[in-house]
Structures are given as structure tokens and as C-alpha cells.
Structure 1
Amino acid sequence: MNNFIKSCLFAFLSMLTLTVVAQNRTISIQSTFKDISGKPIPDGDQEVTFRLYKEDGSPMWDETTMVDVQSGVFSHLLGSANPFNDLGIFSNKLFLGIKPLGQPELVPRTELTYAPYAMAVNSIAGLDKSASFENIGGHPALKVTSTLTPKDIRSSANNYGDNDTGINFPDDGEMDLICNGIPVMKTFHNTQNFGVHFPQHVGFGPDANNSSLLIGIGDNNTGISHPAEDDLRIVTNGADRITIKPDGKVGIGTSSPNISLAIGDHDTGIKHLADGALAFQTNGTERLRIFDNGRIKIGGDSGNNGAVAPLEVDIEGNTTNSSYRSVVNNTADWKQMWHGTPGCNAFGFIETKCGASGGNFGNVAIGVKGDVVVNGSVVSATGISWSDKRIKNILGISNAKNDLDLIKKIEITDYEHIDKVFNDRRVIKKVIAQQVESLLPNVVSSTRRVIPSVYENATRVDFEKGILTISTNKKHEFIAGDMVELKCFEGRNYREIEVIEVKDEYTFTVKAETDPKEVFVYGKYVDDFRAVDYDAIAMLNVSATQELIRKVEALEAANALLNKSNDSLLKENKMLKDATSSIEARLQKLESLSVKSEASNSVSAVVK
């Protein structure tokens, strides 16, 4: 660049826009650098010293800064590097000198032809009066050198060309707006206040004369009314729409609010309770409260105990045993409670039907038309489902034998969640949707949801021009067009943000508004996230159990027949045993007689 500057003979000020702005006091210039052949110098940054000279050549101000030269053209705000602290220099004719780094100042110097410095006016409307723009207190200001009468500054229109309508400067720092000789608006010395002198009405618009301050747009009864001390009303079509009372209470559609913001009547609306806390009430009864920690409580005795969860529903209703109810404890723990008939158990903060009464749902705390989707658990004492046959087209009784065969094939699996932050951390014993789907596709449904397919911190995050490049240690398995979820430790989280480009199996890009520095890559959204109808599996189990009962009953009947046959056999066996015993006894007698006979014969033989 220095070699080029040596060959640079001149700089053209092709356009010079000169403005001194009260806030930043800068002068905007645009200039062109060309070499000796008239070609623009190469693009790039160039250090340049700008200097303002008086007509006699004495320097008044200078600054050195870098300018960006593109196609030989650069723009710069004089005063951006070295502010014009003394605006008095602009009372002189000034010439601008430009000096590139390491080179002599370019010639000739350029005169600031449109001067942003002091302007003197020798006469106003032919009068022997004067005004000038000068530096007063470090700010450009209009200085009037003599006091003007109402006729000195006035409208020239025929209807208002009189001598008692205009602007008057009665004292130092004061100004009056005069109408027909009456001061209707006044500024006050050493204050930022101004006063309106009309005793009743100030109107903006046609025939605006019915309110203290009336903004009339085509009518005369729309604006701001001040009917009583410290009482302010906003009026349209002659009717009060918004009322602000002396204590700050606001009414919309009511002129007598008794809460912070009443809507429609005096005791329905929003009540400000304390710093960060609001209550919504209707007919004087509080219905909903938002606490300073962001938690919400609906119904019941909202009081000051706070909500034990981000959303707590407390519907007390009556004290019948069949009412749904949740209660507020003095601790943040979920505890067991009793309500109604002793011995009726309730779990957590939800109590369902209990005791002897029944036949209805009691006082319903939450009514929903449609699905309720919960990421965590639903805890209740019981569950009730609609089951009226009049809403059903009954196709028949399920085949219990087939149901038993199916239930034997369903695999009960032990598993843990990958995401243990937003899900249960325990080992869970349940089914797997894909396995159940292979057996019972009608009990498995699909929806759109994010899965923790990556679930790890990014190893590298680069942000440039609205593009976030993210690298992971694990293969992300994304493709361009996938919607992913990113959790950022700084700045906003990104849910369902599109993958713009996949650079490799570990790196991808997305659009981003800011640089989050650190990113946790959760995973991608899928349209086939499975859900299982556990009620259907429970009913399948009922049907299979019924089939098992039939089998058991058949076995029991067969066993009864076997037992009856066994009893007959036992009886027959006993009879045989008895007969055998009798025969054995007779044989023993015969054997005894036989022995005796043989012994007698032996004795007879010896005697002979």
C-alpha cells in the first residue's frame, strides 16, 4: 500500500455531505483515491489523517483512523475518532486536508462548502432583530438577541394575522404561546415543565371542547377527561372507556374499580398483590394466582402458601366424599391426605372418589376435550374411562384362546431411560412398543417427538454469520433437512431447528441468531415415535385370564371325575382287602387244624 501511495497524486472529494449532529457531532464525507493513471487504488484498509485548517492555514482539529477503501472509494465520519469538543471552530471557513500513512498531505485542500457551523441572521421579517445558532453549554442552540413581542413572530395567514397572537419571551428561560392576547401555553424558567392556561379544555382535532384533554378525530366527545380531582378518564363517543382512580386502580368498562385492573365491573379483573405476584378474580372471588416464582395456582384457598408445583389446581367444592380435591401443604413435598369419610386413601395431592357415596364424578378439577400429553408420570388414586355401549359399534367378544396365545408372546422388559433428567431414573419393567407392534399393531400408535439420539455436549461450536457449526463425539446420524433439538447454556434453546448441512458424520450446521458458546445436542425429531395403549394390553390380559379360568375350571371338573373314580377304586380296594383278610384268617385256621391232626396221628403210632 505504501508503494501505491507514493504514486498517488491526488484524492477527489467526489461527494461531501456535511452535518453536525447534536448527539454525536460528526461530519459525513465520501472521497475517492486514484493513482496517477486515474485508476482506483486496490481494496483494503488504509490509515489516513484528516485535518481541518482555517483559511490562513492554521490547523484547528485532526484525527487519524483506518478507512476501508473499496474500488477506490471510502466513507468516513469526521469526529468519530476524535470528537469535535469545541464547536466554535465551525464559525470559521474551514478546509479539509487528507494525509495517507507515510505520505505527504494530498493537495489541494478541500473547502467545506456547506458549513455546519454558526449561522447569523441579521434580520427577521425585516425587523431590526437577530438570531444565531451558537454553542451554548456544549450544544448547538438558537440564540435570540432581543425580546420579541407577540407580533414579532406570528402567522401571516389572513385569518390569524393580528398583533396579539404569536410567541413571547417574557423572561430568561421562559416562552409564552399567545392567542388573542391570552397566554395559552407557557414554559417555565429552569424547568422542563410547560403549562396550559385554558381553565377547562385543551382539544386536538375538530370541535374538541368537551374534555379536559380531548383528542377529537371527526367528533367532539372522544379524548381524555378529568372530571374530578385525581380522576382521569379515557372517553370515546361520549362514554367512559378507561378510568384511572386516585389510588391508581384502573377500570376498563367500569368507572368504579376496586382492584388493580377491573374489567367490565368493579370486582372482576386483575389484582396486583405484591412484587411479581398477580391474582385474577371474578365477582370479587379470586380464581387464579401467579406467584413471584412463576408458579400458578387455580382455585381453592390460594392464600400466601404458594403453589407446590408449576401448576396447582385446587378445587375444594363441597365436602362430599365423591369430590376431587387437591390441597396445599406447608411443605413442597407430595404427601398423603384424608378427606371425607376416614379410611378413604388419597395419594399425592389428588383425591378421587372415596367413601360410601357414588354415582357421579364429583367436583371436576380439570376438564379437557382431547388428549393430555405428559412427559412424566400421572399420579392418581384411580382412573375412570368412558365405556357406554351407546357410543360403540360392538364387533363381538374377543377370542380368549388367541388372546392367551398373544399374551404369552409379549415380552416384559427391564430398561432405563436414556434421558434421566426429564424421565424416571429407576429401572422400569414394561413392554417395548416395537415388539408389541409385531404382535398387536392396533395397540401401538405413532406421533411426532424428539428422541435422545445423540444426548451429549458438543465437542466444538463455531458461529459465523448466523450459521452454527456443531461437532459431536458420537455419530449424529443426521441428514440435511432433519429437525433437531439443541439445548444451549447461554442464550435461547433451539427446538425443531433444521439441519442445514451435514459436513461429516460428526459435524453439522444449523441457523442461529446468536453464539451460544456451549451446546448440548439432544437428538432429532421423528414422526414414528411409538406409544402403547396399556389399557388394551390390560384388557388382553383380562381376556387371556378368562381363558385360563376356563382351562382351570375344565381341569377342576376332570379332577373331580378322577377323584370320584378314585373313591370307587378305594372302596373296591377295601373290599378286596377285607376279603383277602377273611381268606387269610380261614387259611390260618385250616393250617392250625392240620398241624393238630398230624400231631395226633404221630402219638397214636408211638403207642402201638
Structure 2
Amino acid sequence: MLILKNGNVGIGTTSPGRALEINNALKLSNSGGVNGNDGVIGVATFAQGLNIVGIRTDGTHRKIGLWGSIIQHENIGGNAWKGTQEFDGKVGIGTSSPIANLDITQGKRTGSHPGVINGLYVTGNFGDSNNGVEFRHSNGTQGIGFGYNSIYATGTYGDQSLNLIPKGKGKVGVGTTSPQALLHVASKNTNYRVGKVRALNMAYNDVVDRHYGSINTSILADASIVSKAAVFAVSDLRIKKDISPTSSSEDLVSLRAIEVVDYKMIDSLADSRSYKKVIAQQLQSVYPLAVEKAPTAFIPNVFQPSTSIVRIQDDEYRLSVAEPHQLVVNDRVDVKCYPGNTSVVTTVSKIISPTDFVVTSETSLDDVEFIFVYGKQVHDLLSVDYGAVSMLNVSATQELAKQTEALQAENKALKARVADLERQVDSLEELKASVAQLQSMIQDQKTDDSSTMLENE
């Protein structure tokens, strides 16, 4: 140790430039620096409420405190931030090379990421309905989460709503930055087309770029749509061409050929009601204009629980069902996994028997307790345009109205003719009566003449 004339003390150095300069590490290995007052350096245990700058981690309540800044609480294992902090540059949590003002990463990043982004950037192995970035009420009951390509409700409540609340007279836009109604859904995928009204409550899990039917789709509903008012469709003359009158007589023939049937849905869990409607295949044979192919969908052609689940290897599982499954290799199959009723799309890799098959799944099924096999994916599901059927009915009704009017006119003419004939009959009856009277008079005259002749003789 060296003490200079100017009062500077040097330890490990012969030229201290400060009042105390140590050219080596500083180690406190016993309680020699202990002081019971606040704001000192010490190594032993202090009361939790004291503002202690601690060296080493021996003390139960050891903490490092910087006024208005970071407090490191050893006993609770975390950092508490007090006061106002200002950082010049970017802050990274879980990353040493942040790309945003605040960059948070959970797990190793893979794939492509932007070079620079303003504000906040968060990545992680998020689920679609859990383990995302969450904002909750302080009581933990309700909140909102941002997951893998989804926004979800979170919290301890079992049933929670997910609300979009614009401010004032604001609107909600999907696919547009300038919504024109309270809810404005703008379609930007001109290749994704479906029928106007779906005939089955199937799940559309994939979006495929194929041309089906004749209408772009903005809203796709798996169940009914309820409105307290009317539902309007744009039908302005100025947006149409090749306009020609329809043949109402032919439309009447088509309408009479449509079979209306009573039926129920195979998926009785989703819909147990009875229906009186049409079957798309039959309608297509007589009125194809009202039938369209929907995009990729899953149909309930299996619709039964799996009696066993056996893991073969990492991504392969053998499933068994009680009734024949009617599946083939490469079929994509929707299975419902419980608990949670999570839908998982699998691919049939092998058919073992009419009731046993092997599927590959990108999602692990190891922790699944029960599987319900819904059915396979199809690319030709037919949907019915009931609006077109209604218009056919209008045209056919107009034809019936014309036929009725013609029959009424014909009936009126027949009635007039009958009335004329009746008048003629009445005239004939009067003439007949007159003739009879005349005949009677003639007969009377003949009788009188005969009597006169006899008297003269």
C-alpha cells in the first residue's frame, strides 16, 4: 500500500490518481465491513428494509441499491426498477443483438427476422391460444393474449369474451385501413372463392388458391348468421352486362324437378336440428347454376371416437375405430384431441385394416387422453346458392301467374260465351212457347171450323 503526499492511497499501484486506487480485485471475505446503519458496504445479513449495498451473496437479505435506479434483491431473485431510467440505444432481453428499442426473445430464433424495427419486437414459441404475450387484469381473471397467428382471451375465467371496442363513432376494419361500416371486411384474395350459402357445417382449415364458383368471399361462417334487419346484396344495373330475360316456362320446369327432402346432419354434436331443404348433388343435375364447389373442407365421413391410440415413433400414431373408417393413404384427417377439444390435422400414412390406420402428425399427440376422428379432407364439397333457388322460384311463380291469368281470361271468355248461349236458349224457349201458342190457336181454329161445317149440313 502506498500513501502519497497529496493524500492519494494506492494499493497495487505506485501512482494512484484518486483518493483510493486499487490495481486488483477487491474481496471481502468476513464481516469486517459490517455496519448496522443504512447506506453502507457489508457482507453479513441485514434487515430486509435497509438500503444496503452488498458485496458477495452471503446475506439472506443482501441487495444492491442505486438511488433512483436498479435494485437487485438476492432473496427474491429478480430486478426491481425504481424511478426514471433512460437508455441510449436498444435494450435486449434474451438477446445480445436487439433489433428494436426493446427486443424480447424467448428461445432460439430461427427463420428470417427484420434487420431493424421501431418500438417493440417480441418472439417466442407461442401457442395459438396460450403461452403468448399476455396483458391481464391485476387479479389475473381476464385479459388478452397475442399468440401464434392469433389474438386470444386469457385469464382464470373459463368463459371470456374477446371484444373490439372502437372509440366514439369509430369502425372496425379487417383487411382495410378505411372501414366504411361498423364492421368492414375487405377481401384481398380474389382466388379464394366459395358458395354463397353453405349447405354443411364443415370446418375450413385451409385456404387454397383455386377458383371455385363465382363469388369472392369476405366472411366465412361455420354456423348461422343472425340479423335483426335485412341482408342486402348489391344488384345495381350499372355493374352488370349481358342482361337478358329468363324463360319463366323453362324455370317452372326446372323448379318442378327439384326434390325437397327432410334430413339431419351427420355431425349431430354441432347441429342436431331437422331440415327441409335440397341436396346439392340432386340440384346440380337439374339446376347447376345454383350449385358451386367449396374450397378445401373436412367432412364427417368417419365421425367416431378412437378406441385406441398407439405411438409408433416421433410423429406416427396408430388409431383404431369401431366402425370401418373408409380412409385411404394420403387422406388428410381432422382429429379432435381431448382434453381441450383441439383440432389437429393428420395425414394417413398406412391402412392396417378397415378399422385401423396410421397417421403422421406435426403436432405431438403423446399427451392426448382421447381422440375423436372427425373425417377426411375433400376438395369438391358442394354448396347451394339458395338465393338462386329463390329467384328460380320467383320466375316459376311468375310463369304460374301468367298461366293463371291466361286461364282466367279463357274462363272469362267461356263464361261470356255460356251466358250468350244461355240467352240464345232463353230466346229459343220463348220462340218455342210462341210456336206452341200459335199451334194451339190454329188447332182451336180448325176445331171451330169443323163444328161450323157440321152444323150447316
**Bucket of the pairwise TM-score, normalised by the shorter protein:** 0.5 to 0.7
Question: Residue 346 of structure 2 aligns with which residue?
Answer: 497
Q: TM-score, normalised by structure 2?
A: 0.60
Question: Residue 60 of structure 2 aligns with which residue?
Answer: 191
CA distance in 1, matches of 2:313, 2:153: 43
- Counterpart of 2:430 (choices 578, 594, 597) is 578
Q: TM-score, normalised by structure 1?
A: 0.47
After superposition, residues 66-145 of structure 1 pair within 5 angstroms as: none
Q: Decide whether the 8 Å contact of 2:297 with 2:381 is kept in 1.
A: yes
Question: Residue 296 of structure 1 aligns with which residue?
Answer: 162
Q: Decide whether the 8 Å contact of 2:290 with 2:384 is kept in 1.
A: yes
CA distance in 2, matches of 1:597, 1:273: 135
Question: Residue 439 of structure 2 aligns with which residue?
Answer: 587
The structure-2 alpha-carbon separation of the partners of 1:464 and 1:165, relative to structure 1 and needing over 3 Å to count, comes to closer
Q: Decide whether the 8 Å contact of 2:330 with 2:347 is kept in 1.
A: yes
After superposition, residues 47-446 of structure 1 pair within 5 angstroms as: 162=22, 166-171=26-31, 186-187=55-56, 190-196=59-65, 212=69, 230-233=82-85, 235-237=87-89, 272=137, 275-278=140-143, 292=157, 293-299=159-165, 364-370=181-187, 371=217, 372-380=219-227, 381-423=229-271, 425-446=272-293
Question: Residue 127 of structure 1 aligns with which residue?
Answer: none
Question: Residue 410 of structure 2 aligns with which residue?
Answer: 558
SS at match of 2:31: coil
The Cα of 1:417 is off from its aligned counterpart by 0.8
Q: Decide whether the 8 Å contact of 1:484 with 1:496 is kept in 2.
A: yes
CA distance in 2, matches of 1:426, 1:601: 104
The Cα of 1:410 is off from its aligned counterpart by 1.2
The Cα of 1:544 is off from its aligned counterpart by 1.8
1:479 aligns with 2:308: no
The structure-2 alpha-carbon separation of the partners of 1:421 and 1:316, relative to structure 1 and needing over 3 Å to count, comes to farther
SS at match of 2:380: strand
CA distance in 2, matches of 1:440, 1:528: 18
The structure-2 alpha-carbon separation of the partners of 1:547 and 1:374, relative to structure 1 and needing over 3 Å to count, comes to same
Question: Residue 105 of structure 1 aligns with which residue?
Answer: none
CA distance in 1, matches of 2:421, 2:168: 70
The structure-2 alpha-carbon separation of the partners of 1:225 and 1:389, relative to structure 1 and needing over 3 Å to count, comes to farther
Q: Decide whether the 8 Å contact of 1:289 with 1:298 is kept in 2.
A: no
The Cα of 1:416 is off from its aligned counterpart by 0.9
The Cα of 1:491 is off from its aligned counterpart by 6.6
CA distance in 1, matches of 2:136, 2:322: 52
1:529 aligns with 2:387: no
The structure-2 alpha-carbon separation of the partners of 1:488 and 1:599, relative to structure 1 and needing over 3 Å to count, comes to farther
Q: Decide whether the 8 Å contact of 2:31 with 2:42 is kept in 1.
A: no
SS at match of 1:474: coil
Q: Decide whether the 8 Å contact of 2:28 with 2:55 is kept in 1.
A: no
Give CA deviations for 1:233-265 in whole Å, capped at 9, x if unaligned.
4534599x89xxxxxxxxx99xxxxxxxxxxxx
Q: Greater share of strand residues, 1 or 2?
A: 1
- Bigger Rg over Cα: 1
Q: Decide whether the 8 Å contact of 2:54 with 2:62 is kept in 1.
A: no
CA distance in 2, matches of 1:422, 1:492: 13
Identical aligned residues as a percent: 24
SS at match of 1:460: strand
SS at match of 2:381: strand
Give CA deviations for 1:295-346 in whole Å, capped at 9, x if unaligned.
224449xxxxxxxxxxxxxx9979xxxxxxxxxxxxxxxxxxxxxxxxxxxx
Give CA deviations for 1:503-547 in whole Å, capped at 9, x if unaligned.
122210113521534322211111111111111111112222222
1:458 aligns with 2:311: no
Structure 2 runs not aligned, ≥5 long:
1-9, 35-40, 44-51, 72-78, 92-100, 103-117, 120-134, 146-151, 171-179, 188-216
Give CA deviations for 1:70-119 in whole Å, capped at 9, x if unaligned.
xxxxxxxxxxxxxxxxxxxxxxxxxxxxxxxxxxxxxxxxxxxxxxxxxx
The structure-2 alpha-carbon separation of the partners of 1:419 and 1:225, relative to structure 1 and needing over 3 Å to count, comes to closer
CA distance in 2, matches of 1:504, 1:164: 77
The Cα of 1:422 is off from its aligned counterpart by 1.0
The structure-2 alpha-carbon separation of the partners of 1:233 and 1:290, relative to structure 1 and needing over 3 Å to count, comes to same
Question: Residue 355 of structure 2 aligns with which residue?
Answer: 506
The Cα of 1:448 is off from its aligned counterpart by 1.3
Q: Decide whether the 8 Å contact of 2:311 with 2:317 is kept in 1.
A: yes
The Cα of 1:482 is off from its aligned counterpart by 0.4
The structure-2 alpha-carbon separation of the partners of 1:496 and 1:290, relative to structure 1 and needing over 3 Å to count, comes to closer
The structure-2 alpha-carbon separation of the partners of 1:273 and 1:364, relative to structure 1 and needing over 3 Å to count, comes to farther
Q: Decide whether the 8 Å contact of 1:468 with 1:515 is kept in 2.
A: no
Aligned length: 332
Q: Decide whether the 8 Å contact of 1:502 with 1:508 is kept in 2.
A: yes
CA distance in 1, matches of 2:406, 2:444: 56
User: What is the Cα-based RMSD across aligned positions, in Å?
Assistant: 4.4
CA distance in 1, matches of 2:57, 2:342: 53
CA distance in 1, matches of 2:144, 2:327: 46
Give CA deviations for 1:358-392 in whole Å, capped at 9, x if unaligned.
xxxxx944222243222222222322101112222
The structure-2 alpha-carbon separation of the partners of 1:543 and 1:519, relative to structure 1 and needing over 3 Å to count, comes to same
CA distance in 2, matches of 1:538, 1:584: 66
Give CA deviations for 1:205-243 in whole Å, capped at 9, x if unaligned.
xxxxxxx469xxxxxxxxx997xxx5344534599x89x
Q: Decide whether the 8 Å contact of 2:262 with 2:277 is kept in 1.
A: yes
Q: Decide whether the 8 Å contact of 2:136 with 2:154 is kept in 1.
A: no
CA distance in 1, matches of 2:307, 2:136: 49
SS at match of 2:265: coil
Return the letter of the residue paired with 2:162.
Answer: I
The Cα of 1:165 is off from its aligned counterpart by 5.3
Q: Which has the higher contact order (CA 8 A, sep 6+)?
A: 2
The structure-2 alpha-carbon separation of the partners of 1:500 and 1:536, relative to structure 1 and needing over 3 Å to count, comes to same
